[in-house]
Amino acid sequence: MRRKNIKFLTCLTQSGLTSHELAIKAGVHPITVSRLLNRRQTAKEATARAIAEALQTTPEALELVEEGGAA
């Protein structure tokens, strides 16, 4: 069983946005947000940046990028 991305989930919760609202704000599909939260998908660089910007943080803080900076 995969573990949720706790840092991403924490930032999302603290933002007061729902995952659907985040998806709209970041310009991504709601399923993408769900898959990233549940670690079922890795983020492309542009997607990671858009989500991080919508949450006023960095992709690294959300653990949306691999070690070495690859998304």
The pLDDT assigned to 10 comes to: 97
Q: Is residue 40 included in any domain, yes or no?
A: yes
Identify the domain containing residue 11 by its residue range: 6-54
- Please report whether residue 24 resides in a domain: yes
**Counted domains in the chain:** 1
For every residue of the chain, DSSP letters joined together read -PPP-HHHHHHHHHHT--HHHHHHHHTS-HHHHHHHHTTSSPPPHHHHHHHHHHTTS-TTTTT-S-TTS--
Tens-digit pLDDT string for the chain (71 aa): 679 999 999 999 999 999 999 999 999 999 999 999 999 999 999 999 999 999 999 999 999 986 555 44
User: Does residue 4 contact residue 38 with C-beta atoms inside 8 Å?
Assistant: yes
In a domain, 59, yes or no: no
Q: Give the per-residue pLDDT at 65.
A: 82
